[in-house]
Amino acid sequence: MSSLLEVQGISVTFDGFKAINDLSFEISLPELRAIIGPNGAGKTTFMDIVTGKTRPDEGTVRWGDLGRSLLTKSEAQIAQEGIGRKFQRPTVFEDQTVWDNLRVALKKPRGPVSAIFDRVTETDRTRIADIAAEIGLTDRLSDMASILSHGQKQWLEIGMLLAQDPKLLLVDEPAAGMTSEEREHTTTLLKRLAETHAVVVVEHDMEFVRRLDCRVTVLHEGSVLAEGSLDHVMKDERVIDVYLGR
């Protein structure tokens, strides 16, 4: 199975602090991966580099079968390549319905002319219905996003990412603030998405990571400290020392 994303030897320094230090990482399509590590380990900066928000001082970030460099591309171009990111706090349009949120997110040509002639086609309607079913919000399509629960807003934002037709989903702490029922639904959703996508989940909650039942990458001081199953990395003495405690 060839890599979808291959990061090699990236480093970046902010004001003398090395946030990422010779970090290498790769993920295939499809695959589910969890990234864990203490605060300041470089998890957010890593995602910033992959999505083009931050440029590394050195190293390579290659994408797709042809191994094209992402470092020459803008954030918008990287999103168009098929990389979607969901931040910890949901960023949905609260004053719009669930349906409208998904419609706005659909992958379509952007620009003034496109906006003028934008029409909702039957294909669009089918796509919106399919995404709503995928994320479990079919019966909430006509509701305003503002009245959704925290968990439902998280699912809607994942749905908005899916509307962009991504190959790779970067999901930041999806379980935070959810009820146990919502966490169970989120686990099922992410595992199902990983059957057809590459999904990277950054998470602090070890019980949630265990439910994902996937390969885990542990970051520490901007580098990969350990990698493997959750049981494997939790037995690693270095991981115990820097993250899990004794």
- Residue 77 pLDDT exceeds 90: yes
Looking at residue 88, its pLDDT comes to 73
Q: Which residues are 31's β-sheet partners? A: 198
- Residue 184 pLDDT exceeds 80: yes
CATH number, domain with residue 78: 3.40.50.300
- Give tens-digit pLDDT for 127-179: 999 999 999 999 999 999 999 999 999 999 999 999 999 999 999 999 888 99
Domain count for the chain: 1
pTM of the model: 0.91
Looking at residue 89, its pLDDT comes to 75
User: Which residue from 232, 204, 210, 213 is spatially nearest to 41, judged by alpha carbons?
Assistant: 204
- Domain of residue 8 covers 3-242
Looking at residue 228, its pLDDT comes to 96
Looking at residue 113, its pLDDT comes to 47
Give the mean pLDDT of the chain: 91
Looking at residue 28, its pLDDT comes to 95
Residue 39 pLDDT grade (very low, low, confident, very high; cuts 50, 70, 90): confident
- Residue 117 pLDDT exceeds 80: no
* Average pLDDT score over residue span 181-191: 95
Q: Helix axis angle, 98-105 relative to 150-162, nearest 10°? A: 30
Element (H, E) at 77: helix 75-81
Q: Do the Cβ atoms of 149 and 177 come closer than 8 Å? A: no
